[in-house]
Amino acid sequence: MEENKSQELSGTGYEIFVGALSMLSIINLVMTLFIRDDALRNVVNSIDWLLSLIFLGDFLMRLRRAPSRSDYFVRHFGWADLLASLPFPQVKILRVFRLVRVFRLLRQYGMRRIVASLVKDRAGSALLSLLLIAILVLEFGSLWMLRVESASPDANITTASDALWYIIVTMSTVGYGDQYPVTTAGREIGTFIIVLGVGIFGTLTGFLANFFLAPNKATAPGDGGQAPSTAKQRVQELSDLLAEQQATVAELKTLLGQD
């Protein structure tokens, strides 16, 4: 288990995130076998390019952080990670190795420890969840929008680039207005995307604000919430004050004795 821990990049939440993207990639691979519409197929292929870039970055970071690069590349299927990051249908099936890694992690750590790890790193887990949701909304929102808008002769969302652009600007709450749905179903989807976008970017903004502006909370246990240096300084001040009081009492006793 310690050997598996050394292969983790950023904790359990990250491994689950990569596993979820790997599963999405495999689903996309199956979808391309059944989708006949060129626009829908182009949406899936565009998302797959994005996933390939993420997987390539994941491979490079794992390789850089590995204690032994040759050991990671050979024994821990680094070669499969490299090939699976390429946007070629012939090697995408190798992304199953990433799913195997996540399942092995879950089995060895146990569900209780997995949940405890996610709770401990709530901010990081929430950020990865937002990224996953954003990717899912981008892909399936585009596919859904193209599907419902294709039935209208007045539709201006007719290509993969139109749908992806519309979902991006809508989810980011920018809304340029150059692409817009004309059907009732399309407008309902747009409303749903807006609500999700507000939640995603609102949470992301809160995460970034907390990351950059939160004060340092490192304190010693039992010091009443004060930093160790501050506590020592207060103790020293109290000691000095007590010494001054003792000196004053001694001086008063001397004066009273003279009288």
Per-residue pLDDT tens over the stretch 132-175: 999 999 999 999 999 999 888 888 898 999 999 999 998 887 87
Task: Give residue 248's pLDDT.
Answer: 66
Does 3 lie in the same domain as 109? yes
CB 136 within 8 A of CB 28: no
Does 148 lie in the same domain as 113? no
Task: Give residue 245's pLDDT.
Answer: 67
CB 149 within 8 A of CB 155: yes
The reply to whether 241 falls in a domain is yes
Which residue type, as a one-letter code, is found at position 57? G
Does 1 lie in the same domain as 115? yes
Does 164 lie in the same domain as 108? no
Q: Per the confidence metrics, is the pTM higher than 0.95?
A: no
Does 96 lie in the same domain as 129? no
Parts of the chain with a pLDDT under 70: 1-10, 214-231, 235, 238, 241, 245, 247-259
Task: Give residue 233's pLDDT.
Answer: 72
Does 96 lie in the same domain as 25? yes
Task: Give residue 226's pLDDT.
Answer: 47
Task: Give residue 179's pLDDT.
Answer: 85
Task: Give residue 41's pLDDT.
Answer: 92
Does 161 lie in the same domain as 111? no
Q: Rounded to an integer, what distance in angstroms lies between the CA atom of residue 164 and that of residue 146?
A: 10
Task: Give residue 43's pLDDT.
Answer: 93
Based on the structure, what is the number of domains in the chain?
3
The reply to whether 222 falls in a domain is no
Task: Give residue 114's pLDDT.
Answer: 76
Its domain, for residue 249, covers: 228-259
The reply to whether 51 falls in a domain is yes
The reply to whether 70 falls in a domain is yes
Q: Which long-range contacts (CB under 8 A, 24 or more apart) does 34-41 make?
A: 37/146, 37/150, 39/146, 39/150, 39/158, 39/159, 39/160, 39/163, 40/143, 40/146, 40/147, 40/160
Cα–chain center distance at 159:
30
Does 99 lie in the same domain as 178? no
Q: Rounded to an integer, what distance in angstroms lies between the CA atom of residue 59 and that of residue 42?
A: 25
Task: Give residue 42's pLDDT.
Answer: 93
Residue 95 DSSP class: G
